[in-house]
């Protein structure tokens, strides 16, 4: 079902051919992101992602967009903590030109002083925007508590100070050390053969040799640092983010944790949605999520709460977490969580874009592609008691961190500190 080739320069090519599709989704992944940056260049990976759309050796900014959008395709990119991806979905007839555009952006960007100065203002406004949105700002503050004094806790976009100091030369240096063939994966899904994809990659990238890329700074928890942070803002709603260390990409307990996430706050049937919103009307929005990275992870619960009821909401959340640690989950919850998780996987992989992301990310993380059957079997093997053990491992009160943004009053802060212990 999946095929993989490695070119002489180390570039990995992975594909899934689906002949009955009319589209092809293509992604060029670079194994770099926010955690690969020192304080002096914080925000460089995200800044560089923006700059690559400004022009390359062969294509101007307008031509990059027109070559793909002009044939009905879509073009995008994203930067995460450990990866940056440039992606497009186009009618299969136009995949060759689309790859040429993406590859020229990635390998031969035009990083000009003029473009960097223009885009700096855009990124500074982006930072302000997220700072002004409490539902995003509260998570950024939580991550600062979870990963203190580490690139993971310092924001993907960087700060106003760090972005202001990024020059075109610093971005060129970051590109030179990170965007090298042996740190890159090309993934594609849809109506394209693997050999055709390999031929495109070899023709475009054979002139670029492998190199030595900057490794990520490992994270080692000291257990020290602040456990809570409160930001007073005169807004209409209180926003909280409760976090605790999760599991990394390679942890054998991650499948049990994913099932636990579904039960806790992964959908509208979850415990927190039912207890906090449906039964008590304390919040409009409440959910949980689990993030895995190479050597660490994060389990987070987020909620937007009526201002006077934040203490009550947090108390209910902590009670539910404690209840799961003590009693586990019910057989019906366990069955529903498995069906939901496997069903979401099946539905997602029907789309060529989602499937391209699946095989590309898997190759970047593990240097191999996890098959759907492999993941389904791993989920099937999880026992109900494994979920309780995952909860006991993750939901440890002394490891919990809390960020709150809103019109918090001194009495509420005292009550919350007392609840958190």
Active site residue 117: no
Verify that 256 and 186 share a domain, yes or no: no
Verify that 172 and 289 share a domain, yes or no: no
220 lies in some domain: no
Verify that 191 and 272 share a domain, yes or no: no
> Using one digit for the tens of pLDDT, what is the confidence trace for 310-363?
999 999 999 999 999 999 999 999 999 999 999 999 999 999 999 999 999 999
Q: Exactly one of 49, 275, 320, 361 is catalytic; name it.
A: 49
- Whole-number pLDDT of residue 9: 96
Domain that holds residue 195: 3-205
How many residues does this entry show for the chain? 421
34 lies in some domain: yes
Verify that 265 and 404 share a domain, yes or no: yes
> Using one digit for the tens of pLDDT, what is the confidence trace for 361-399?
999 999 999 999 999 999 999 999 999 999 999 999 999
Verify that 127 and 243 share a domain, yes or no: no
Verify that 372 and 242 share a domain, yes or no: yes
How far out from the chain centre does Cα 81 lie? 7
Would you say the C-alpha torsion 139, 140, 144, 149 has a positive or negative sign?
positive
> Using one digit for the tens of pLDDT, what is the confidence trace for 246-280?
999 999 999 999 999 999 999 999 999 999 999 99
301 lies in some domain: yes
223 lies in some domain: no
186 lies in some domain: yes
Verify that 37 and 108 share a domain, yes or no: yes
Please report where in the chains the tokens 């982006």 appear, as a residue.
126
Phi, psi angle pair for 100, to nearest 5°: -60, -40
Verify that 61 and 97 share a domain, yes or no: yes
Here the CATH number for the domain that contains residue 163 is 3.30.830.10
- Out of 170, 205, 240, a domain closes at 205
278 lies in some domain: yes
Would you say the C-alpha torsion 135, 403, 50, 120 has a positive or negative sign?
positive
Verify that 237 and 195 share a domain, yes or no: no
Q: Does pLDDT of 129 surpass 90?
A: yes
Of the candidates 53, 90, 52, which has an alpha carbon nearest to the alpha carbon of residue 70? 90
Verify that 184 and 248 share a domain, yes or no: no
Beta-bridge partner residues of 190:
17, 24
Verify that 328 and 367 share a domain, yes or no: yes
Number of domains within the chain: 2
Verify that 189 and 241 share a domain, yes or no: no
234 lies in some domain: yes
């Amino acid at each position: 079902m999946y095929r993989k080739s490695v070119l002489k320069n180390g570039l990995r090519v992975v594909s899934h051919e689906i002949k009955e599709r009319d589209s092809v989704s293509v992604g060029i992944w670079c194994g770099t992101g926010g955690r690969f940056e020192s304080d002096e260049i914080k925000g460089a990976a995200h800044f560089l992602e923006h700059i690559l759309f400004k022009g390359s050796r062969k294509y101007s900014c307008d031509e990059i967009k027109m070559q793909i959008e002009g044939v009905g395709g879509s073009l995008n990119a994203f930067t995460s903590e450990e990866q940056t991806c440039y992606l497009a979905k186009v009618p299969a007839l136009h995949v060759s030109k689309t790859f040429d555009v993406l590859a020229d952006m990635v390998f031969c960007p035009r990083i000009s002083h003029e473009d960097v100065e223009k885009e700096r203002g855009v990124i500074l406004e982006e930072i302000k925007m997220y700072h002004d949105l409490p539902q995003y700002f509260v998570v950024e503050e939580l991550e600062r508590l979870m990963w203190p004094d580490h690139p993971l806790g310092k924001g993907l976009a960087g700060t106003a100070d760090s972005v202001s100091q990024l020059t075109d030369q610093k971005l060129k240096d970051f590109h030179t050390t990170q965007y090298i063939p042996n740190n890159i994966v090309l993934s594609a899904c849809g109506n394209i053969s693997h050999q055709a994809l390999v031929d495109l990659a070899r023709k475009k990238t054979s002139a670029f040799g492998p190199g030595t890329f900057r490794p990520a700074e490992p994270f080692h928890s000291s257990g020290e640092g602040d456990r809570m942070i409160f930001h007073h803002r005169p807004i209409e709603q209180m926003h909280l983010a409760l976090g605790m260390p999760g599991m990394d990409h390679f942890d054998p307990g991650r499948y049990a944790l994913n099932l636990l996430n579904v039960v806790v706050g992964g959908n509208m049937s979850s415990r927190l949605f039912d207890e906090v919103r449906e039964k008590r009307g304390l919040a409009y929005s409440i959910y949980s999520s689990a993030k895995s990275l190479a050597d660490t992870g994060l389990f987070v619960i987020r909620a937007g709460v009526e201002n006077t009821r934040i203490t009550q909401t947090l108390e209910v959340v902590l009670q539910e977490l404690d209840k799961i640690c003590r009693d586990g989950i019910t057989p019906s919850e366990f069955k529903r969580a498995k069906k939901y998780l496997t069903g979401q996987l099946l539905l997602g992989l029907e789309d060529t874009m989602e499937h391209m992301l699946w095989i590309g990310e898997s190759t970047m993380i593990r240097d191999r592609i996890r098959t759907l059957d492999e993941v389904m079997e791993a989920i099937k093997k999880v026992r109900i008691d494994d979920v309780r053990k995952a909860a006991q491992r993750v939901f440890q009160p002394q490891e919990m961190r809390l960020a709150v943004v809103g019109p918090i009053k001194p009495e509420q802060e005292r009550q919350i500190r007392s609840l958190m212990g």
